[in-house]
Amino acid sequence: MPSRYLMLLLSSFLATFVLSKVLLSVIGQSKVAIKPELLGTQAEKQGTPVIGGIAFCMGTLLASFLDPALLESGVVHPLLALLLFALIGFIDDRMKSRSSNGDGLSSLLKLALQCAAAMVMLLLLYNRNLLDTYLDIGPFGLELGVWYYGFACMYLLYFVNAVNITDGLDALAAGSAMPLLALLLLLAHRSGISASPALSGSLLAFLVFNKKPAKYFMGDCGSHALGGYIAVSALLMGYEVVMFLAGGLFLVELATSLIQIISIRRFGRKVFTIAPLHHAYEQKGVAEGRIVSSFILVSWAFALLSLLISR
């Protein structure tokens, strides 16, 4: 097991590193525009290519072909989710690259595509009898029966959008996802389930290029892929609640955005100067590096706490 993990970590790191170099040399600058409300703090990021998600998804895929456990459910199905949701994000990124104001897919169309992808994944897992409809809630439990599949669809949508919203500062989304990927590997090892560290190795290489000042961004392609991978892994292992708690930082980021939207539409005023939370701190003058490092530490704390309370 240790030799397999080390091989996959190294191969995915190297594959993503080389792909990143190649893509950066070919793509150069991007035409993606920075949102007008962020120009005051992120004007210097204008033109940064949005190819990081492509790089680490391809790197993960290439390394996974070397995995002797590739066809085991805990490896192949999260990988399929990564690719399926990455495709939705890629379409959105391409549309943004052709837009003068940074707009991509409409919210409703993006949600519809996410729902379709979630249903495809759940149908696949259902047909292979890989999901347990019993929800483990610490000392308690809840048998959801057929309602579990509605819950699982919402779970997938939650993680995909929460990671997507968190992707707003250099290294923030990837750095905050690393603790969850590490936790998934620990939980899989504890449960005797095959899991792959390939995505972790790819993200480490991605962070070499995405740390401030970022040479590229992951875009929706990367954030959708990350969210889909984490959610499907948690569903397969039956650690839905544990991983939800471990992703507490993503919950906070998503919640601030939802609160802001509801408040503006319902009451005509803002709760935060800007949402999500990382941009609010940014506009208050907190250095980007300090925000990112603090948020990543919080993510590690959530993951550690979730590990301690998991069974």
Q: Decide if 161 contacts 224 (C-beta within 8 A).
A: no
219-256 per-position pLDDT tens digit: 999 999 999 999 999 999 999 999 999 999 999 999 99
Kindly state the percentage of the chain with pLDDT values over 70: 94
For residue 176, what are the contacts with CB-CB under 8 A and spacing of at least 6? 166, 249, 250, 295, 296, 299
Query: Could you report the per-residue pLDDT of 254-284, keeping only the tens digit for each?
Result: 999 999 999 998 888 988 888 899 999 999 9
Q: Which residue has the higher pLDDT, 237 or 44?
A: 237
Residue 145 CA to residue 97 CA, distance in Å, equals: 43
- With tokens 């409409």, the residue in question is 106
pLDDT band at 1 (very low <50, low <70, confident <90, very high): low
What number is the average pLDDT over the span 93-115?
87
